[in-house]
Amino acid sequence: MQQTYFMIKPEIVAAGDQKVGEILAMVNRAGFRITALQMRQLDRATVEDFYGEHRGKGFFADLCGYIAGGPVVAVRLERADAVAKLRELIGATDPAKAAIGTVRDLYGASLQNNAVHASANPGDAARELGIIFG
C-alpha cells in the first residue's frame, strides 16, 4: 500500500459540507482508504513551507494567501499506486483541461481555485504528509 496527501481547498470547504462529502465519496468509491482526516486552518508559515518549491515564482504569494485564507480538509489516503491513482481521479490542474467526471472538472473554477490538491509523486507525498500530519 502507498500513502498520499489530499487536500480539499478553502473555496470548497466554504461552500459547505455537501461538496466536501461528495468529493470524499468520489475518493472512497475509487478504492482509497482514509487513514487521517482533519479540517484545519493552515498558518502562512506552514503553507509557505508546503509550497516551498514555488518560492520565487510570481504566483507564490497569492497561492499561499489563498490556502492560508480559510480552512482546508487535510486527508491521508492509502491504496496501491495511491499517488498516480489520485492524480488520475482529480484531473488536470486547470479545470478547463480536466477530463470529464474528474474532481477538478466537477468542482474546479479556475487554475488557482481548482478545488483540491494531490501530491505529485511519492517523494512529495512523504514530505507533504510530514508537514501536515507530523
For the chain, what is the largest distance between any 2 Cα atoms, rounded to a whole number of angstroms?
A: 38
Q: Please pick, among 48, 117, 118, 128, the residue that the annotation labels catalytic.
A: 117
54 included as an active-site residue: no
Rounded to whole angstroms, the Cα distance separating 33 from 14 reads 24
Rounded to whole angstroms, the Cα distance separating 134 from 127 reads 10
Q: Which residues pair with 79 in a beta bridge?
A: 2
| CA dist list (Å): 77 to 4, 6, 104, 122 | 5, 7, 18, 12
Q: Which residues pair with 37 in a beta bridge?
A: 75
The count of residues in the chain is 134
**What residues are labeled active site?**
117
